[in-house]
Amino acid sequence: MSSTALYTDLSGYYDLMCADIDYRAQSQGIRRLHQLFGNQGARHLDLACGTGPHIRHFLDFGYRSAGLDINQPMLDIAAQRCPEARFACLDMGDFTVDEPLDLVTCFLYSIHYNAGIERLDACIGRVHEALGEGGVFCFNAVDKYKIDNRSFVGHQVSHEGSQFTFGSAWHYPGEGERQSLRLRIDKTHEGTTQTWEDEHPMVAASFVELQALLQPRFEVHVFEHDYERITPWQGAGGNAIFVCVKSR
């Protein structure tokens, strides 16, 4: 099954798949960073917004939020969750905006959904064009050279009489600009288990490469992957939060 089919067919289960994510803590952490580095504006766009849980929190914080994603069933759920927001079914490397933004976010490592370094650079360029003076781009990323192919994370949740087991793992072959996110979903209902497995192709980049793409357009700050505390990245961890302030 292709990644698009998996995402579409299981869009109704996406929130279950992400049930262990603290969306409020992530949103609040980025809000604090925006308050520290931003222009105090409230025009916000969330890239690869999925079903909109981060947008819900930013709306509640007082932002004027919008979202884009390439998956329309996800956006249909997001629109129900966030009726005040605007949504568009677009690729993050091809969007434009009607007015300058103050904050662009991209959570859950979704920046890696760009199809190669060239498309990643195009996305960064689009974000730069969309931001107003002093605007901020915040996202999290994984360094391709620090991916442990043996690492696997997962959780279980019950829903409507079924037991779901969700698992995911990064995989990087050791060279090149492609990595993948491997997914497995088991659904058990009345003793019968259905299994979906898929592999989402994603762009791979080291943090050095990411900063090289960002620095011509932004003042770049890199922090430890901790939404509760603001700590400069120490160079050891393979996950980090990037805060990029429009510089020109």
Q: Residue 176's domain is classified under what CATH number? A: 2.20.130.10
Q: How far is CA 102 from CA 60, 64, 90, in A?
A: 17, 10, 20
| Same-domain pairing of 44 and 126 | yes
| Same-domain pairing of 150 and 221 | no
Is the full-model pTM beyond 0.85? yes
| Same-domain pairing of 34 and 116 | yes
Number of domains in the chain: 2
| Same-domain pairing of 98 and 221 | yes
| Same-domain pairing of 154 and 232 | no
Check whether 89 has a pLDDT greater than 70. yes
| Same-domain pairing of 139 and 154 | no
Reported confidence tier of residue 234, pLDDT bands at 50, 70, 90: very high
d(CA 153, CA 50): 20
| Same-domain pairing of 96 and 195 | no
Check whether 2 has a pLDDT greater than 70. no
In a domain, 5, yes or no: no
| Same-domain pairing of 56 and 133 | yes
Tens of pLDDT along 184-213?
988 898 999 989 888 889 999 999 999 999
pLDDT at 93: 93
Q: Are 235 and 145 in contact (CB under 8 A)?
A: no
In a domain, 187, yes or no: yes
In a domain, 10, yes or no: no
Name the E strands within the chain.
43-47, 64-69, 86-89, 101-106, 131-142, 153-159, 162-171, 178-189, 192-203, 218-224, 239-246
In a domain, 226, yes or no: yes
| Same-domain pairing of 90 and 198 | no
Q: Which of 140, 124, 98, 134 is nearest to 243 (CA)?
A: 140
d(CA 185, CA 187): 7
| Same-domain pairing of 62 and 153 | no
Task: Tell me which residue range forms the domain holding 38.
Answer: 15-144+204-246
Q: Which residue matches tokens 């890239």?
A: 47
| Same-domain pairing of 96 and 209 | yes
In a domain, 9, yes or no: no
